[in-house]
A = this chain, B = another copy of it.
Amino acid sequence: MKKVTINSVAEYAGVSKKTVSRVLNNEPNVSPATREKVLQVFKELDYKPNPIARGLARNKSFIIGCLYDNPSKSYITRVQSGALEACHKFNYNLLIHPCELRGEELIHNVDQLLTTSRLDGLVLTPPFSDSQELIDFLKTQNVPFARVASALEDESSISVSSNDEQGAYELTEHLISLGHKDIAFIKGHRDHSATEKRFSGYQNALLNHGIEFKESLVAQGNFSYHSGADSAKEILDIEPMPTAVFASNDYMAAAVLKLATQRKLRVPEDISIAGFDNAPIARHIWPGLTTIAQPVEEMTRQAVEQLILQISDPSTEVYQKVLEAKLITRESTAAK
């Protein structure tokens, strides 16, 4: 079976390559009769244009790359699913590329990625969306990109994020309204901007409700389940034990719940536990976790959609959006 190329189609249809190309791209200036004839030959020969050749001629690949370095697998899955939705809508494909934020190698690594597979654009997810170094590099390389959940102020690049600070504020307020005063807090990964935002949401809520902020109630996590388990030990050993724990994501909250349950503490009677993200695990465990629903898929979907629009028309206005985070109450929190 011989390969069907634009040449064979042209020959078979008795027209020039260029005319075939015109039909292929729905360009004007082809007579209806010719167009019909060529389309017919497409069908007859089952012709499929070679995307690589096309890519070479137009300097495009129709592939978007997704950069991530995140201990929370469910976050990544959600990111991917949002990104894929946008990609497929525009007939793009998604290439995934986990890599480490730290080290000299980041830039080199991304550079390598760009040279081994001509990407049309990149979606940056935390913590990459906050890496000024990376962003500067991409700008010098003229690689279009979009930031997801980034806290960086940069009017010149696409950004879709959600209101972390307000979410954390609301969740803390929820705990306060239940009568809690000793609310422990587990911070996220230092490299993620969300970490600071969630923390200040927590602090501000305490402040505005006249509750003293105590450094001793704060543990440092990194968004991984493991770090949550470590922090849980610290927190549950505090005397007197806090009556509520607010972890910066659901994985860490799940770790607290596990340790508490292991220690025969009743949740929420003895201690309330809340997380952030509304990851699947929040509803897969008992009691279900009160948390903040962050529209991860939607953020990424919008970011990638805008990225693709930007790619097809660089004059498109730069899209910047903050989506709402919303409180979800489940069984893990109750009145003191």
Contact = CB atoms under 8 A, between A and B. Distances in A.
A95 B63 contact: yes
Chain A interface size, as a band, is 35 or more
A116 B91 CA distance: 8
Nearest to A228: B284
Interface stretch (A71-79, A159-167, A191-199): A71-79
A179 interface: no
A284 B251 contact: yes
A95 B52 CA distance: 15
The count of identical subunits is 2
A280 B225 contact: yes
Nearest to A78: B73
A63 to B, nearest CB: 6
Interface string A262-290: 10000000000000000011001110000
B62 A117 contact: yes
A118 B96 CA distance: 16
Nearest to A111: B48
A225 B284 contact: yes
A255 B97 CA distance: 32
A61 interface: yes
Contacts of A81: 98
Count chain B CB atoms within 10 A of each CB in A51, A52, A97, A285 and give the residue with the most: A52
Given A95-B95, A96-B84, A118 B52 contact: yes
A74 B75 CA distance: 11
Nearest to A48: B115
